[in-house]
Structure 1
Amino acid sequence: MGLKIAFITDAWYPQINGVVTTIENTCKALNNGGDDVFLITPDRFYTIPCPSYPSIKLAIFCYPKVRRLLNEFAPDRIHIATEGPLGLAARKYCLKYKLAFSTSFHTLFAEYINLRFGMPVALGYRFLRWFHKPASHIMIATARVEANLVNRGFDKAQCVRWSRGVDVDRFRPRDKNFISYRRPISLYVGRVAIEKNLHAFLNLPVSGTKIVVGDGPQLHKLKKQFPDVVFTGFQTGEHLAKTMAAADVFVFPSRTDTFGIVMLDALACGVPVAAYPVQGPIDILINNKTGCMQEDLQQAFYGALALHSEDCRQQALGYSWQNCSAQFLNNLVPVT
């Protein structure tokens, strides 16, 4: 008989991002393996729009319902994925009833809050240390992210690995003619938000056509500012996979991601990646083989353009959601 796992996350649909993708695919794999995963997500609560990012819904006055849901489910394991209102409510519940729990670190929360509101990064990390300190384990995608957290005062003994996966059946090499724009086609997929450093991509002096797939608070402004760029809005499923496979280079301009699952999606489609040599790309790409990482993003683009599709696909085959979910399951701790 499988485990009863309570999974609490503030990041959920209608958001489309790497955190939601990781949670959805991990929970699906766990359920398929016989475990009973109970998701506590914002759609179960009254929510308000997040300041500066209205598509993110924040649960309010949520502790009484979180307590009731957890009492009724009576989980064997509790995992708190995010540091938002639901995460705080579940943390409070676990501490009140002296239940062990695990957490995960997905997002450079302190840096994002600094970019959006000017709050000092050090203050953000003070909050994050406080939030994660009672956890038995903190699940982290890469050794580089872990080293950064340890340097900022996190306990290394708490840190365990929870990698990421890719659906290589959906994201695979396909017909390049799905997109008929002038080539080479450079593609970005993700949030259209300040922390993604999109200007670095949109200002690149490269030939061909730039395509941005995604939505976010900067979309309206950037569409006006860059009329020659193709902005498609959100795409999902087969349409997204076909779009990604039709690109010539995937450009990942972010300097603040902890991983970057979309890079795995691109590699699985046989599309090389151009990126900065920073956390995220360094942890995924094989430089000058499956991606090109340089501080000069223009040079990285043209370097990536010369790489081989087969090498990209081969690397992506090494990642799976089954392995990801097995790591996650192994990191969980009994509540008592």
Structure 2
Amino acid sequence: MTLDVQNTEPIRLTQYSHGAGCGCKIAPSVLEKMLHSDIPKPLFPNLLVGNESKDDAAVFDLGDGTCIISTTDFFMPIVDDAQTFGAIASVNAISDVYAMGGQPLMAIAILGWPISKIPAEVAREVLEGSRKVCEQAGIPLAGGHSIDCPEPVFGLAVTGKLNKENLKQNKTAQSGDLLYLTKPLGIGIVTTAQKKGIVQQKHYDLAVKTMLTLNVIGSRLGNLPYVHALTDVTGFGLLGHLSEVCEGSGLYAQISFESIPRFPFLKDYINQKSVPGGTTRNWDSYGHKVSRIGEFERAVLSDPQTSGGLLITVDPAFQKDFEAEMSRLGYTLRPFGSLRSAGKSLIEVHS
């Protein structure tokens, strides 16, 4: 926890914000209304990925076989410690480049700070956490912009690159593809429990460790032709991001709840009403697209993830090759579902 440099009183960053991490994202249905425009869109033939497919980043074809990736992500504190907040926000932002199958090149900081409420030295710690993550990712924190803001906000604008043939999108899944997830669900539930003062330290530490893990594996996935689609799971929860994959690809999903990676201790926190507000907003936006499920399943599958894992679709003919490659890279992955050309609901959830 950060200390106030003037009176040594602990500064709990989460007390200065009304939302936390990716849980403060605008609900999918509301965002769709905001992005709608009747103005004809200009044609940019080299813009391979814009905002039409709700993908993780924009991609621009340079015409020489390579592409530039551009993305930005920022949010309010999800933890109280300043360095950890800066680090998590940075891991989360850089993930969008990995989710396109690319390699990050550099980052620019985005900082909003309530300078009359929180000392500037605390903001410096946020930036230090970001610098450490950027160094871990092998990129410079090359500059940025800051404003005086009512609530603390931090994130990055990240530029990346990839070979055009390695581009992965969220709308390119194919019927029969197997579904994989690289990080467990439950971040929002655990961090809400921390704000309520009921979380066990070992559970909180595991959630923080998960959020601090870079999705660097995405660069490797870009090289695998049997990986058909890729996206990261963040504020809309697994069901929200999976629905984008399904709708963009014209497919339906069948998933097994028991096979989905998740923290094993979530039920107790859910029973104590440790469910972030973003969960309800998420479900209200896309619940009609999902088969009937129980309250526990809904709380887990709609839970807003901050710095979540990568959602991967894989050609089933290459299941053994994919899982062996992931094992070699230190990941033990098993499919939790598959995609079909038809279904009763966009996403059917089975026990």
The alignment's TM-score, normalised by the length of structure 1, stands at 0.27
Give the number of the structure with larger relative contact order, counting CA–CA contacts within 8 Å between residues 6 or more apart: 2
